[in-house]
Amino acid sequence: MKVLFDTISNKASKMVTRQYSTSFSLGIQFLHKDFHKPIYGIYGFVRFADEIVDSFHDFDKAVLLEEFKHETFTSIDRGISLNPILNSFQEVVNKYNIEPELTSTFLKSMEMDLEKKNYTDEGYKEYILGSAEVVGLMCLRVFTEGDHKLYDQLKPYAMSLGSAFQKINFLRDLNADYKGMGRVYFPNVNLDELNDETKAEIEKDIEADFNTGLAGIKMLPKKARLGVYVAYIYYRSLFNKIKKLKASHIMQERIRIPNGQKVALFAGSYLRNSLNIL
């Protein structure tokens, strides 16, 4: 029975999400239950693609990613894949009419990660568009449930929020990306000489994205608002912690929010949302 296989596929995406990101998993719980399965489906797909370029060092990553890309679009066209993660993703894409170009743009950013590089301004914007902004748009397609007018209205806000999240990830992972992967995402920045002034300029850019993103959260349908707001609060707290640190510090270790603090943040987010004081 295909329904059983689809159930197994959705559980696989949920398991991937929980194993790879406790923060994201907790945030999903604050979404309406109608959105749990499709958002797990999107995250599972994104996570697997990212793993190919970040983790499979003993294998030909380019070949693996090309095969993954081919199977992704084949599964969307057929409406099925024997890869449970892709089967779950294609179900989301087809149900919510997620544009093919969103998936293509995302996979292009994964291809960009196959090479160690220093990004130009143009490349930086292209990478963020593919790795974060279009993922936000995939989720927005789910949240707006076929309301194309609302989707178009919220599109720039979702892109800004995704951009803010990704730039914070860059700051959080500076040490691993640079020393481990040879990647420098921020354009025109020499990480060997990163100083507090340059860090402050990066943070100013993130702040602008955050402010735009929060305005969009307030306009989201009620079924999605709390879950997205929880993600915003988590990243805002991580961002605030990074802002307090010296540039030299963030080059030495990955900055984290302890699990106990995460729970307190999520509880506070729930209360603020309930009182409509976002």
pLDDT digits (tens, 9 = 90+) for 120-147: 899 999 999 999 999 999 999 999 999 9
Q: What is the 3-state secondary structure (H, E, C) of 63-117?
A: HHHHHHHHHHHHHHHHCCCCCHHHHHHHHHHHHHCCCHHHHHHHHHHHHHCCCCC
Q: What percentage of the chain reaches a pLDDT higher than 90?
A: 71
Instruction: Supply the pLDDT for residue 275.
Output: 47
Write down the mean pLDDT value for the chain: 91
Altogether, the residues listed in the chain come to a count of: 278
In which band, very low, low, confident or very high, does the pLDDT at 22 lie, cut at 50, 70 and 90? confident
Q: Which CATH architecture best describes the domain 116-278? A: Orthogonal Bundle (1.10)
d(C-alpha 138, C-alpha 98), whole Å: 6
67 token code pair: 């095969």
Mean pLDDT to the nearest integer, 110-116: 90
* CA 1 from centroid of its chain's CA atoms: 33
Are domains 1-115 and 116-278 of this chain identical in fold? yes
CB 109 within 8 A of CB 130: yes
243-271 tens-digit pLDDT: 999 988 888 888 777 766 666 665 666 55
pLDDT confidence of residue 82: 96
Domain 1-115 is classified in which CATH homologous superfamily? Answer: Farnesyl Diphosphate Synthase (1.10.600.10)
Of all residues in the chain, what percent carry a pLDDT higher than 70? 92
Asked if 252 and 174 count as a contact pair (C-beta separation under 8 A), the reply is no
Cβ within 8 Å of residue 11, ≥6 positions away = none
Domain positions in the chain: 1-115, 116-278
Of residues 181 and 51, the one with the higher pLDDT is: 51
The alpha-helical segments, DSSP class H, found in 21-32 are: 22-28
